[in-house]
């Protein structure tokens, strides 16, 4: 799967968990998801679940590093490194 395709799936998912008053296209790939107000810190849990189900990632082995989930670019890098 290409990075573009992964990005498309990720942003489609973020649409379902973003704050209703912040549009996804207002933030850059490098912007902090929580810092920009797109999602709240609790939504990180839903991102973890998404990565587990969509990309077969297992965090029980590596643990969760919130930094790796901090932006779209960071999440895409994480999927590239550890995704199925």
Partner 1 sequence: MSLAQRYASLSQLHEDPRLIAFAATPRGRALTWLVATLLLAPNSMVFSISPILALVLIAPQWRTQILCLGSIFVLDRQLTSNGLSGTGELAAMYAFIVGLLYLTYLAARSYRSLPHLVQRNSQIVLHALIGALMALSFLLPDSLTGEGRPAAAAIRSVRLLLPYFVWRMGYILLAGRRGSAAGSSFLDHLLYCLPVYGSTGVPYGKGYDHLKRCRADEPLALARSALAGIKLLVLVWLWVAARDALTLFVYGDPVYRLGSVLELDVFHLPRLGEVIANPGGVPYVLIWVSMFLELVDFTLSLAGPGHTVVGCLRLFGFNVFRNTYKPLLAQSIVDFWNRFYHYFKELLVEFFFFPTYVSVFKSYPRLRIFTAIMAAAFFGNLYFHALRDTQELVDLGLGATIAHIGPRSVYCFLLAVGIFFSMMREQQRRGAAAVPQEQSPLRAFRRIAGVWLFYAIIHIWNARPIELTITQRTRFFFSLFGL
Contact 40, 19 (CB under 8 A): yes
DSSP code, position 32: B
- The alpha carbon of 43 is separated from its chain's Cα centroid by a whole number of angstroms, namely 9
Output the smallest distance, CB 54 to partner 1, in A: 13
Q: How far is the CB of 18 from partner 1 (least distance, A)?
A: 7
Q: Stretches 2-10, 63-71, 72-80: which one binds partner 1 (CB under 8 A)? A: 63-71
- Range in contact with partner 1 (rule: CB under 8 A) among 3-11, 19-27, 72-80: 19-27
């Amino acid at each position: 799967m290409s990075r573009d395709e992964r990005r498309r799936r990720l942003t489609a998912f973020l649409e379902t968990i973003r704050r209703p008053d912040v549009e996804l296209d207002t933030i850059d790939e490098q912007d902090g998801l929580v810092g920009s107000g797109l999602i709240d810190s609790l939504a990180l849990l839903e991102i973890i679940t998404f990565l587990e189900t969509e990309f077969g990632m297992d965090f029980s082995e590596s643990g969760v590093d919130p930094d790796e989930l901090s932006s779209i670019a960071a999440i895409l890098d994480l999927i590239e490194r550890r995704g199925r």
